[in-house]
Each structure stands twice: as structure tokens, then as C-alpha cells.
A and B are shown apart, each in its own frame.
Chain A
Amino acid sequence: MSILANKDTRAVIIGGVAGLNAAKRMAQFDFLVNRPLTVQAFVYPPEEGQQKEIYRGGELNNVTVYGSLENALAENPQINTALIYIGASRAYQSAKEALDVKGIKLVTMITEGVPEKDAKALRKYALEQGKIFNGPSSIGIMTAGECRLGVIGGEFKNLKLCNLYRPGSFGVVTKSGGLSNEAMWLCAQNGDGITSAVAIGGDAYPGTDFVTYLQMFENDPETKAVVVIGEVGGTLEEEAAEWYGREKRRIKLIASIGGTCQDVLPQGMKFGHAGAKEGKKGLGSARSKINALREAGALVPDTFGGLSKAIKQVYLELQASGVIKPEPELDEKLLPVLPPSVQEVMKQGEVIVEPLIRTTISDDRGEEPRYVGYAASELCEKGYGIEDVIGLLWNKKLPSKAESEIIKRIIMISADHGPAVSGAFGSIIAACAGIDLPQAVSAGMTMIGPRFGGAVTNAGKYFKYGVKEYPNDIPGFLNWMKENVGPVPGIGHRVKSLKNPDKRVKYLVEYVTNQTTQHTPCLNYALEVEKVTTAKKDNLILNVDGTIGCILVDLDFPEYSLNGFFVLARTIGMIGHWIDQNNQNARLIRLYDYLINYAVKEEREVPEKK
């Protein structure tokens, strides 16, 4: 036996993520006591139609989110209680709808910060229909061994520590949520645990009151004593005292009332729950509540700490008088153990999981990202630059100062090449079509390939091959290329030639050879090749892709990383073009007819389909 919630309770949760978290906790309890899932449906219009994954032990359940309570009930007519988690501005409407459902007798509101007027109206509405509106600001309701509504009881371990897997003899009613958990623990530690525990919330006008629940406990034969935790403000505790003192009650009453400190505080200084406010002329003071309860025969210790002894005393008395028969303690080892997640088991070294991917460059599991072991902020602090990060992430090495300078120049020189080239033009067309930055830049990026910017990798690769296989035999290398590859990547330019050299190439070659001590076998080789090819044709010069590729090979970057430099550098330019077009509010463009040769068939009639 129990009050409010039991094995047959089936709940709908109205609200978003807080409700989902509660449902997960509730399912842990369902697993502990081996009952079916308590939460049968969610109502949350923004996520209508979604399924939420809820584990009951190791069993995965999918619980549907509905757009309305009506729809949730239509598919789940077994629902008989509602938990309101939705925000304060919608809480009233949601609770009222739930109270309107014939089969729902209990509505518990977890939502905090609900206007008093709404809470008062809901209380009245529920009373008129003979239903219970519990809350707002309730942590929930717990019936040991049977049902958990809300996160009351905390983590799984605590459910066991508080003996919540089987009924005891104590009822609990509190205003505070945290203290409901504390009280359940005290009943388990000093007695045999609880039958049911209810948190009514600390607002000024809770939807229910102590008396309602005391009466329920009085009618529940399994409950032998009740722990009430109240506080200054309102008159619910006085009403409880009045109820308890009115006639001989079967249940023993133990109480603790918070707020006696307010007697000695500077005048007007009040704190605690919204409802913890003393009225005029001392009405609702903690002291008056304590006195009323003591006069009515309740056991009220001096401080909260004294509750332990009080509960123990009542428990021993009830045992001595035979009201409570001691039950053999359950062996905790027989209780189910919550299946751990893979991460937890791995931490304990009890399972081996083959990793799905492997990384060798970076790790953000600590306080900040580390690149090949170096903390990003430390690199910044010690004067390293973006070139060094490239060196680390692309080649797992910190470049020297001289190498960094070269990398920097390669990127600076390749960052943009005007609007006419394929990449920039692609981004510009996309920008003009109103496409967002990442997609427009990707449009330009798509152009990078064998004919545009994508020759760096192959140039580096083949010149490196030449250095190795044909060190002193340029004609042999060119011959091999002709037979196996085709035109030499990195050689040749559409407009530039020996007489009209590419300024960028000249600068890079000059910088690397004259201003650094960098050893450049690959670049030297390519320049030798150029001598041979330009002798054949004026424009078969070493182009910028070839130059960059060779230098990067000389800097010991892996061949397949080389196009990355062009991609990275040109991204800067493409983003620039996108921003530029947006700044100008550029309009959609299309090709003029005169730029197109319409080499198409004459107009003609469509034949009948045969």
C-alpha cells in the first residue's frame, strides 16, 4: 500500500529536456523495482513526432513525443498521471489541460517560478474536480518499491541506500525537494524506510497541503508514522497540527520546521523559498508552527539534526508495541545493478572496444586542445604562429624559424589571384546567388583540381621521383614522364613565359635560395628541368604550383599534403571574395547571351510519342 503513486501509475511528461532527464531517472527506478516503464509519453510541441531513448536497465525503449496531450492520450489511454516540466509561462495551461483529462487524477508540477495566481487557480480547479494538483516547484513523488514520479530520490545508488526498492513504514511530506530526499534517507537509516514521500513545493500557495497527505497516510495501513518538514510562512503546518490534534490519529507525527532563525534576524530580512515569508503580527512564524505541532502531540526536535534521533525513537517504540514487525534485511547483492555504460566499464578495464578511428595529431579531452601534445595557448604564449600549427597538424613537426618564414610566404603569395580564376569566380557566382559563406567557399573549392591549383601535390611528387630515380638525367626523367604520366605537373603556364616570368615564382625561388640556408634539392632539380623544357618551348616554365610543391617537399612535408597549402591559402581569398560581394550587395548574375555560342539545333516540333 502507498499513497498517490503505485505499480499501476502510468505517466505523461509535459515539457522538454528537463522532463526527458527525469524520465531517464524514473526508468532507473523502474529497473530497480522491476516494473514497466512509468513514462509512457511526452508532450512537447517543438519536438512532436520524435522518439526519446529511455533505458530501463539494459533495455532500450523509445518513448514518443506528442504535439498535444490529446494525441498522447489517444494513443496511450493507460496514462493516469501527468508531470509538468514545461516553462512557467505555459505551465498553467498544460496543467489545466491535464486536469481536464478524465483518467488523470494527479498532476504534479515540477516547474519553478510559476505565478501565484496560476498556482491558486490550479489548486481550486483540481479541488473542484476532486483531483490532486501537487506543486509547483515539487521535486516529485516516491512510493518505495512501486513508483517514482520525478527525480525525487536522486541517483541510482541513493535509491538503494534509502531502501526505496521496498516499502517501509514512514510517510514523508516536505515543502523542500532536497529535504524530501534527506528525509527518505533518515527514515531508511533510523527506521525501515518509507511507504511514500511527497514534496509539495516551497511556493507561497502550493496546490496541496500537509493535511491532505496526512489524511491519505492515515488511511494507508502500511504507513505507521509520518515525517513532515515544513517552514516559516503560510499556515499549512498549523493546519496539520490542528488536524493531528483534533482526534486520536493512528499515525505518529514527527516534524521539523525551518525558519526559527528569522526571529533573531534584523527586521524585514527574509530568505529561503518563495513561500517562506512570515505574515503580519507573527502569523506563520516557525516558532508558532513548532508550538502548535508540539501541542498537538507531534515530536518536533530542536534542530533538523535532531530528526535522526526522533525517527529512531518512534521506530523503536512502534517496534516495541508490535505495530512494526521487523523484516529481515534484504541482501543488497540481490538487488539489480544498473548496467554501466561502455565508458564506465572501459574505465574499470573490464572490456575491450576496438576504436573506430585513430588520431595522431590532436586531442581536446583536457582543458584545451593540444596539437601533437603541445597546448594551443602555450604555443601562442611562446611566440609560435599559424605556420607552426600547420607544421604540427600536417607534418607533426614544429618548423624551424626559417621554415616557418617560407611556409608563411607560400600562403601569402597563394592567398588570392583575382576574381577571374575558377576558384574565386565560383565563390563569386555563389555569393551573387545569395549562398552563405561556407557553401559559397565550397563552390570555389570544388574548382581546385588538375587544371586549377591542384597540381602542387603531383608536381612535388614527380620532381621528388626525378631527384631519386634520375638525379643527373633530366632527359631520362622527361622521357619517363612522357611515357608514364604525360605533361610534367608544375611545368607550363597559359600566359607567362621566360620573357614574361611569373613574379611569384621568381620571388619564392630567390627568397628560398638566397635568403635562407634551406637545402633545396627538389627545387634545384625542377629549375634544371625548366632549363630543358623552356629550350623546347618558351612557356614551359616552372609555374607557381611546381615551385611550391618542390619547396614543400624540400621542407619535408608529405607529398599528399601539398595541395593542402593551396587549398588553405586560397580559402582566404575565396572568403574575401564572398565578403566583398556581400558588402556590395551583389545581385544574382547570369551569362549574357553574347557570351554563349548556342550551337544547338534549330527550333522544331516535338513529334508525337510513339
Chain B
Amino acid sequence: MAKILEGPAMKLFNKWGIPVPNYVVIMDPDRLAQLGEANKWLRESKLVVKAHEAIGGRFKLGLVKLGLNLDEAFAAAKEMIGREIGTSVVRQVIVAEMLDHDEEYYLSIAGNRDGSELLLSNKGGVDIEENWDTVKRLFIPLDETPTIERITESALEAGFTGEIAERVAKIASRLILCFDNEDAQSIEINPLVIRKSDMRFAALDAVMNVDWDARFRHADWDFKPVSEIGRPFTEAEQQIMDIDARIKGSVKLVEVPGGDIALLTAGGGASVFYSDAVVARGGSIANYAEYSGDPPDWAVEALTETICRLPNIRHIIVGGAIANFTDVKATFNGIINGFRESKSKGYLENVKIWVRRGGPNENQGLAAMKKLQEEGFDIHVYDRSMPMTDIVDLALNS
């Protein structure tokens, strides 16, 4: 799952003939003046300026400004660029034509196991949730493309009439093409607007998710996906992601502010169960972490050090199932080095460490971990005979 920003989404819409308003993405407000000289629409249309970043609730934060002329747009861009929102900084803004329009529609497509589903409504805009019962659905089986007649039928069912129904169907057919050919997972256009005087349509706002695993067959994907965790990545998360991109196997980290139980867990499945166990026992996690696929020990060491630096943690859960092929001795070696390094830097004071693991070379790995007791670590080590998530119970009851 990879959400992409509006700019790249608009570019893909353009590629597949889905009407979009004129727009530019800029990093420097001065560039807007130059673009204004070159583009008539910037001088003559009402403009909207939006922070082009993965920041939720942009409207409330003043990162969306509507109905501006070029000078006002310049001022808005200047004000937004460089603004710090939490841990992230606004680096880009998108300046788009604010099309005067008569009606707002809703058009979306999302994949499912058997194909995809097209959703249409002639009551789009901010109120779509309230008008959800007006949405008409068209199931599109895998490898099939509905005829324009079939889509038009759906448009008519959704309350569109006459030429507008035909035009909406046409746009929907292109949306299906775009979805299919760009390995999209979902595309939601809300609103799709129309100016009836010249029958001009435009996708004013859109959210698009693409399948990042398919990037090998999309040479023109020059964008990066944005954070999937509802906020921009922290520096630590970014560092772990950078390591993850370079190694065999994987290391992952999501920080959860406010928690006091840190997770240093193995495996995509088991890690989630450890988070669940903490929550089920009334604890709060300080992070989610995962290493899997027999990653190199230095990567696990880096992950360990990052986790040891999390603020206010009281426990670290070094949990995992019985590995199939991740070498317990080697990965534990990375964790042990990370613990030692962190301790020498003054971290891990009053932190209890709980270990449960099995898999290749489990005896050596667990024995090495246990030896940390001699170095003054408050560490509790269990082998496969301890039920997997029960170390969480032990930690919370200690």
C-alpha cells in the first residue's frame, strides 16, 4: 500500500486522460512569479494553494488557501513553505486552478480479491459520507473491462442524466484504465466537478494508492510513496527505513508516542501479536518493531539502539516465534551489541528486558543473551517452552 501525493496522482490522471485542473508544484515561491509569466491560467484564474506534503488535516492547519489571485497565491506559498508541523516541514506546495463549477460528483475505484469496484455518485464533495446511500457500485471482474454502455448505465442509475452521464462514464472508463495500468489499489476523486457553460470537468481533489511492489514495471514512477501511518515519518523511522531498503530481510519501526513498553520483536505475524498482548493486558506500546527474513546483525543492532533511545520506556520485549530460517544466534548478536552500546551511552537505566525466542541456533543465541545478566542488565530470558506472548504478562506483572 502506498499513498501518493496529489502532484504525482494528477500526473498519472493526465497520462490516462482524466481531466485535472491546471496545476504546478513548486518549492520556491519565486518560481510562481516566473510560471505566472508563462501561464495565462495562473494570471487569470482563481487559485488554490495547498501544502504538498503527507500532513493530515491541512485545512485546519491553514495549509490550504482558496480563491486567490497570483499575488495572493505567492504570499500563501511563501507563508507555507518552510513551516514546521510537528516533526515535518512543508517543502512543496501545489498551486492549482480553482475551477468555478456548478456541481460536485464522486468517483472512485478500489481493488478487491476478485477484481475491483467502481463507485459513482452525483452528490460528491464534503458531504459524501452523508450521501453514501446515493453511491452506485459496479463490480469489475479481474481482467475484464466494462463497456462504455455498461458504465453509462451505472451513471444513469446513480442519477446522472443525458450528456453528463455519458461524459462521467467516459471519465470513469479512463479511471478504470488508469487503475488497471498503473497498479493502483484505490483512487478516489472527490469532488469531480463540472462547469456546465463549457461542459468542462476536472478532478479537483484525489487520493490515490498504488502498489509499491509493482514499481519494477513503472519506469515513470518518479515519486516516493508517502507515510502510511497517518503522519510523516520521524527521523528514527526514516533511518530504519533507509537500512531496510539496503538489506536482505527487513527491519521496521513505527514510534507510538506515550507508551512505556518497547517492542523489539521478530516476524511480521508475531510482532503484531506482541503488540496485541501488551494492549490486551492494559499496557501501552512505545513502538512497533519488526525484524524478519534473517537480516544482517548490524541492521538488528541499529534497530536495537534506536529502540533503546525511545523516551520513558520501562520494558523491552525481545519476542519472537520459533524462526524458520532467521538465525537466532546472529540476530541476537546484533541485539546484544545494541544493548551494550546503549548502556554505555547511559540508556536502559531501570529498563527490564524480556526475551523469548526459538529457531536456528536458539541455544547459543539465548545463552549469549542470558550472559548479559553478568554485565548488569535486568534481563529475563526464556526459550520456546515459554508461551510466545506470556513474557508480556511477566513484564506487566513484575
Contacts and interface: CB of A to CB of B under 8 A. Distances in A.
Contacts of B277: 303-305
B331 to A, nearest CB: 12
A108 to B, nearest CB: 14
A123 interface: yes
B60 to A, nearest CB: 15
A205 B111 CA distance: 10
Given A229-B269, A304-B277, A305-B388, 9 more contacts: A124-B142, A178-B321, A179-B270, A267-B230, A269-B230, A269-B254, A273-B272, A304-B387, A306-B387
Contacts of A152: 324
Interface stretch (B92-100, B209-217, B345-353): B209-217
A139 B278 CA distance: 27
A231 B266 contact: no
A259 interface: yes
B279 interface: yes
Interface in B311-362: 320-326, 358-361
Contact of B213 (A88, A158, A175, A273): A88
Interface stretch (B26-34, B158-166, B195-203, B389-397): B389-397
Nearest to A150: B324
Interface string B206-225: 00000101101100000000
B384 interface: yes
Interface of B: 1, 56, 111, 113-115, 142-143, 180, 183, 185, 211, 213-214, 216-217, 228-231, 252, 254, 256, 266-273, 275-281, 285, 288, 290, 292-293, 320-326, 358-361, 384-385, 387-390, 392-393
Nearest to A308: B387
Contact of A307 (B268, B281, B387): B387
Given A268-B230, A272-B269, A181 B387 contact: no
A276 interface: yes
A301 to B, nearest CB: 10
B276 A304 contact: yes
Contact of B143 (A124, A153, A265): A124
Given A116-B111, A185-B322, A286 B276 contact: yes
Contact of B279 (A112, A115, A261): A261
Contact of A182 (B213, B270, B280): B270
A89 B216 contact: yes
B325 A154 contact: yes
A18 to B, nearest CB: 10
Query: Secondary structure of the B side of the interface?
Result: mixed
Contact of A115 (B213, B230, B292): B213
Nearest to A112: B293
A117 B183 contact: yes
Contacts of A229: 269
Contacts of A151: 324-325
A89 B269 contact: no
Given A120-B142, A202-B269, A182 B322 contact: yes
A158 B142 CA distance: 41
A265 B216 contact: no
A174 interface: yes
A185 B185 CA distance: 37
A74 interface: no
Given A88-B213, A189-B385, A272 B229 contact: no
B342 to A, nearest CB: 22
Given A178-B323, A181-B322, A305-B393, A261 B358 contact: no
